[in-house]
Amino acid sequence: MAQPPERATGALIYAMVARGTVAVAEHTSYTGNFRDIAAQCLHKLPAGNNRFTYTCDGHTFNFLVSDGYAFCVVATESAGRQIPMAFLEMIKEDFNKRYAGGKAATATANSLTRDFGPRLRDQMQYCTDHPEEVSKLSKVKAQVDEVKSIMMENIDKAIDRGIQIDGLVTRTEQLHEGAADFRRDGARLRRKMWYQNMKMKLIVLGIIVALILIIILSICHGGCGK
């Protein structure tokens, strides 16, 4: 791999945006086989959104994969990892603002280099010239993302609790309705049992009255015969 000039110490020396394995935009001010190695790395990237860093011959090949697009920057090892990743976050945001849902989805190889290449160049130079500022911004963004993640997690939990509470209220209402039905059924059953008991009592009373009448009539009939 060809080495960049001495002034490139701690520098970002090659940047690329790819859709899948097709590089749609790129920029470098240095000579070397950075493009070829980056292209090889594209084919080895695991699926899914993530960050990856490969080291080769004193350089780091840093990738940020997001929703089918791979954002890549090659840096000297002395640049560390935070600055390259901060650069990739900036580029991803800029690229999505310009092309989200637009021509990036159908762009051919290097077809966006003329339009987006200057933006890659400017951001590379800015990150190289202002590493401390970029580092601070990166830390602040990381903290904001962490807070957002915690908030979203809390919101999800609150929503989940809300669903559970709604389910509990529904089940409680169902229990209340069931209890009311049970009480109504119980009242009907008690009335039915009361009517049946009264009916039995009346029947028994009627039988007793009939027996008494039969006995009286028998006695009366016997007395009258004498």
State yes or no: pLDDT of 163 exceeds 60. no
Please state, for a pLDDT cut of 70, what percent of the chain lies above it: 73
Q: Which helix (H) or strand (E) holds 50?
A: strand 50-56
**Rg of the chain in Å (alpha carbons):** 44
The DSSP output letter for 21 is: T
16, 26 Cβ separation under 8 angstroms:
yes
pLDDT, tens digit, 9 for 90 and up, residues 65-110:
999 999 999 999 988 999 999 999 999 999 999 998 788 899 999 9
Residue 190 pLDDT:
75
Residue 133 pLDDT:
83
Q: How confident is the model at residue 59 (pLDDT cuts 50, 70, 90)?
A: very high
Separation of alpha carbons 2 and 136, rounded Å: 32
